[in-house]
């Protein structure tokens, strides 16, 4: 199992002061290292330090949420950071958000309980990398290389889920995930290959696994 950060860092991006204060106070009280900024450029700069989660307002003056997300994703270190769209529009179709690269959404106004429920879905959790048998078969450098290649495959899978074309990768990801001990992730991808499950849940499990690999490799929040 991997060591988890005691207070995972969440970045709140919203140009409304009351919304920022509300989200920051609620999440900090729940054990997150909650930081807040008021605009997109500041959010991109804040991600020079790794974050476990970003809560991003869609409708901000200047650089809006979609432009901010694109700027975040332009830096390779942020490719796997989960980003939740924080929007006053209640959505019936989430496909456009997925296509833009968002991983989940939370509608405004929301209660403290709704905010916490959304954030807790994305809290980093221990992943069962089967290190014992891997270390008997491979050296440390080989294990790191194996995990890095699997991470690249997961990032490719995320891009495919955004376009709705992930089924072709599903069995490959599911098989490798199971071998490495990422059982929840493997089941999610297998369900996807068979037309079950939903894409937000698949993206959540995939991003959490990427975060676990990054922590194992010493590169993540």
Q: What is the 3-state secondary structure (H, E, C) of 32-94?
A: CEEEEECCHHHHHHHCCCCCCEEEEECCCCCCCHHHHHHHHHHCHHHCCCCEEEEECCCCCCC
**What is the C-alpha to C-alpha distance for residues 27 and 25, in angstroms, rounded to an integer?**
6
Do 52 and 80 meet the contact criterion of CB atoms below 8 Å apart?
A: no
Half-sphere exposure at residue 142, Cβ-oriented, CA atoms within 13 angstroms = 8
Q: Is pLDDT at 181 greater than 60 in this prediction?
A: yes
Residue of 84 and 139 predicted with greater confidence? 84
Residue of 152 and 179 predicted with greater confidence? 152
HEC string of 111-128? CHHHHHHHHHCCCCCCCC
| % of the chain surpassing 70 pLDDT | 84
Condensed to tens digits (0 to 9), the pLDDT of residues 114-129 reads: 999 999 989 887 665 5
Condensed to tens digits (0 to 9), the pLDDT of residues 8-51 reads: 999 999 999 999 999 999 999 999 999 999 999 999 999 999 89
Over residues 165-191, the mean pLDDT reads 81
Residue in the block written with tokens 């698949």: 202
Class assignment of domain 9-120?
alpha beta
Domain layout of the chain by residue ranges: 9-120, 131-217
pLDDT score recorded for residue 2: 46
Half-sphere exposure at residue 61, Cβ-oriented, CA atoms within 13 angstroms = 3
Condensed to tens digits (0 to 9), the pLDDT of residues 161-174 reads: 776 666 778 888 88
pLDDT score recorded for residue 1: 43
Which residues have CB under 8 Å from 115's CB, separation 6+?
22, 23, 26, 27, 106
Q: What distances in angstroms separate CA 119 from CA 43, 54, 113, 148, one per listed residue?
A: 18, 9, 10, 26
Token digits of residue 67: 């432009």
Residue 136's CB is within 10 A of a number of other CB atoms, namely 7
Q: What distances in angstroms separate CA 66 from CA 57, 71, 73, 106, 205, one per listed residue?
A: 9, 9, 11, 15, 23
| % of the chain surpassing 90 pLDDT | 35
Over residues 143-148, the mean pLDDT reads 86
Residue of 84 and 129 predicted with greater confidence? 84
Beta bridge partners of 54: 11, 83
Do 13 and 54 meet the contact criterion of CB atoms below 8 Å apart?
A: yes
pLDDT score recorded for residue 187: 84
Secondary structure class of 153 (helix, strand, coil): helix
**What is the C-alpha to C-alpha distance for residues 50 and 219, in angstroms, rounded to an integer?**
9
Residue of 150 and 180 predicted with greater confidence? 150
């Amino acid at each position: 199992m991997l060591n988890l950060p005691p207070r995972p860092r969440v970045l709140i991006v919203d140009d409304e002061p009351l919304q920022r204060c509300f989200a920051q106070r609620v999440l900090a009280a729940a054990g997150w290292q909650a930081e807040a900024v008021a605009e997109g450029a500041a959010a991109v700069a804040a991600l020079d330090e790794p974050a476990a989660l970003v809560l991003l307002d869609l409708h901000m003056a200047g650089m809006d949420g979609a432009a901010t997300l694109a700027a975040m994703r332009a830096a390779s270190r942020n490719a796997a950071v989960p980003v939740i769209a924080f929007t006053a529009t209640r959505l019936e179709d989430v496909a456009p958000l997925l296509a833009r690269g968002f991983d989940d959404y939370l509608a405004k106004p929301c209660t403290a309980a709704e905010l916490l429920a959304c954030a807790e879905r994305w809290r980093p959790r221990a992943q069962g990398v089967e290190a014992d048998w891997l270390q008997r078969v491979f050296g440390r450098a080989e294990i790191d290389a194996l995990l890095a290649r699997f991470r690249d495959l997961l990032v490719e899978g995320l891009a495919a889920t955004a376009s709705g074309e992930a089924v072709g990768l599903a069995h490959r990801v599911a098989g490798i995930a199971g071998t490495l001990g990422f059982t929840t992730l493997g089941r999610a991808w297998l369900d996807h290959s068979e037309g079950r499950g939903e894409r937000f849940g698949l993206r959540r499990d995939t991003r959490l696994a990427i975060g676990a690999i990054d922590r194992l490799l010493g590169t993540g929040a």
